[in-house]
Structure 1
Amino acid sequence: MNAVAEVENTAAEPAVPAVKPPTVKMVLSLTLIATVSGILIVLTHFLTKPVIDENKRVALQNSITAILPGTVKIEERMVLADGKILQIDQSVPAKGKDAPVGVRTYTGLDKDNRPLGIVVEASGTGFQDIIAVIYAYDPGRQLITGMTVMSSKETPGLGDKIESDQQFHANFKSLDVRLNAAADGLEHAIIAVKNGQKTNDWQVEGITGATISSKAVAGIMNASTTSVLPQIQKQISAFGFGQASAARDSATSTGGGQ
């Protein structure tokens, strides 16, 4: 009797369905979805890249003309690591292993094709991330005459004031960057000082509440001008200006800096 009952109980238990492995159809479907998604991402990148690149080009051009008024034509050059000046045109690759490495500069020309100044790209570490700027350089008077922050991720409402604070940007309307007697560096380093404590034309008055970001910009400017401007002055004729000696005489006669 017990044996019969055990058989009956066993027969009464519901059967547990076996877990079926993924079918070939499901695998193919997932593979197809992943492939299509990848293709769409790549297509989106290639379709939007020209638009993004053009927007960046226009933004850069507008920023150059803003800090170098009167510019109607821009000539792009690069100061290479060995100090040579390279004219940038369509034959020079912008990216890849064959792309030149150096500092990009932009000479602004007026309607009569005369050089107005040289705009230099520079970047460095800020409080949050990399800060990228461009600044206008007057090689005759040896002054920085304008600066624009092209990109930054500084703290909103504090550090990001470096992008729009007019008093801060006024520091770069006539910033003394005269070269030293050996013409291999600045006569005076660009340094940041607290708000209201600026006494010399090579000092950058910081923004209250954005001390670190202000110092970062001053440091970026100092590092860039110290390394790039001596190379520019040594080969100033390559940029369409007179010789470096004439530039120094002009700076002295106009009393640039203090």
Structure 2
Amino acid sequence: MSANQILSTQPNPTEGSKKMLIAMVGIGVICALLIVLSYEGTKERIEILKAEALEKAVFKVVPGISKTRIFELTAEGTFVLSDGKDRSKTLVYAGYDDSDAFKGIAIEASGQGYADILRILYGYDPEEQTVVGFYVLESKETPGLGDKIEKDEDFLSNFKALTVALTEDLSKIQNPVVPVKSGLKKNPWEVDGITGATISSRAIGNIIGESSAKMIPLIYSQKETFISAANPNSK
């Protein structure tokens, strides 16, 4: 048998590589398809659960309410009633008691934490001009450390009466909310940090500080919009 005959009986390495490549591409396509199908199949359910969690959180951050109405902030800077379905809009949640008295507003805000983006909800009482509640909607902070922002009672007490009073002309917050190191809080507009979770707790103070500086003057100037929307069916 000649050398040429021996070589012709051996497998073609190029042909083998092609088969392996086709197999890998096929597996990749199938995996991608399964991921897309799983996402599409659970997307609606996930959105429903998020909406339910958000609704429960609104009642936690605005004390004494029994019903809510959703408003969206328009490009013109005014608040109008909304169905809340368009999550790309800036939404706020007005809270009312059993007698339809307007009690306050729940405001969503977000910002960079230690591990990832923190998404929070805080309550605002226009009559007292204070933040009256706080809740973490989404967090990937380190368990046992960064997640203290959700559990530490001393830290949470910052948000029972955090001052966001406006200047006399109502154009801005008189003393913007700022975070301080643990144990150094001296003023009602400061957020006392957490030892061992400094970055996460400071992030919360900064998030509320930035959000409230923008949202509080707008909300306060349009109190009548929220008050009059308490029970539109009675008009």
Establish whether residue 191 from structure 1 lines up as the match of residue 183 from structure 2: no
- CA shift, 1:241, in A, is 6.6
**Cα separation, partners in 2 of 1:12 and 1:138, compared to 1, 3 Å:** closer
What corresponds to 1:229 in structure 2? 216
Q: How many angstroms apart in 1 are the aligned matches of 2:187 and 2:139?
A: 27
What corresponds to 1:252 in structure 2? none
What corresponds to 1:253 in structure 2? none
**Cα separation, partners in 2 of 1:155 and 1:111, compared to 1, 3 Å:** same
What corresponds to 2:233 in structure 1? none
| CA-atom RMSD in angstroms | 3.0
**Cα separation, partners in 2 of 1:11 and 1:162, compared to 1, 3 Å:** closer
**Cα separation, partners in 2 of 1:204 and 1:27, compared to 1, 3 Å:** closer
What amino acid maps onto 2:86 in structure 1? Answer: A
Report matched runs for 1:68-87 at 5 Å.
68-87=62-81
**Cα separation, partners in 2 of 1:217 and 1:29, compared to 1, 3 Å:** closer
What amino acid maps onto 1:45 in structure 2? Answer: Y
**Cα separation, partners in 2 of 1:179 and 1:12, compared to 1, 3 Å:** closer
Q: How many angstroms apart in 2 are the aligned matches of 1:80 and 1:139?
A: 20
Q: TM-score, normalised by structure 1?
A: 0.76
Q: How many angstroms apart in 2 are the aligned matches of 1:57 and 1:107?
A: 15
Q: Which is further off, 145-154 or 65-74? A: 65-74
**Cα separation, partners in 2 of 1:130 and 1:81, compared to 1, 3 Å:** farther
Q: How many angstroms apart in 2 are the aligned matches of 1:137 and 1:201?
A: 14
What amino acid maps onto 1:73 in structure 2? Answer: K
- CA shift, 1:83, in A, is 1.3
What amino acid maps onto 1:110 in structure 2? Answer: D
- CA shift, 1:225, in A, is 0.8
Q: Secondary structure at the match of 1:240?
A: helix
Q: Which is further off, 226-235 or 70-79? A: 70-79
What corresponds to 2:167 in structure 1? 180
- CA shift, 1:233, in A, is 1.2
* C-alpha contact 1:79 1:228 (8 A) present in aligned 2: no
Q: Secondary structure at the match of 1:21?
A: helix
Establish whether residue 144 from structure 1 lines up as the match of residue 138 from structure 2: no
**Cα separation, partners in 2 of 1:11 and 1:219, compared to 1, 3 Å:** closer
Q: Which is further off, 171-180 or 74-83? A: 74-83
What corresponds to 2:102 in structure 1? 115
Establish whether residue 126 from structure 1 lines up as the match of residue 119 from structure 2: no
Q: Secondary structure at the match of 1:201?
A: coil
- CA shift, 1:146, in A, is 0.6
Q: How many angstroms apart in 2 are the aligned matches of 1:219 and 1:155?
A: 19
Q: Which is further off, 186-195 or 226-235? A: 186-195
Q: 1:48 aligns with which of 42, 47, 56?
A: 42
Q: Secondary structure at the match of 2:73?
A: strand
**Cα separation, partners in 2 of 1:83 and 1:146, compared to 1, 3 Å:** same
Q: How many angstroms apart in 1 are the aligned matches of 2:57 and 2:171?
A: 29
- CA shift, 1:62, in A, is 1.4
Q: Secondary structure at the match of 2:111?
A: strand
Q: Secondary structure at the match of 1:171?
A: helix
Larger Rg: 1
What corresponds to 1:17 in structure 2? 10
Superposed CA deviations along residues 24-48 of structure 1, whole A, max 9, x for unmatched, are 9999987776665554433322221
**Cα separation, partners in 2 of 1:233 and 1:212, compared to 1, 3 Å:** same
- CA shift, 1:228, in A, is 0.6
- CA shift, 1:112, in A, is 2.6
Q: Secondary structure at the match of 1:215?
A: helix
Percent identical residues: 36
Paired residues in the alignment total 227
- CA shift, 1:239, in A, is 1.0
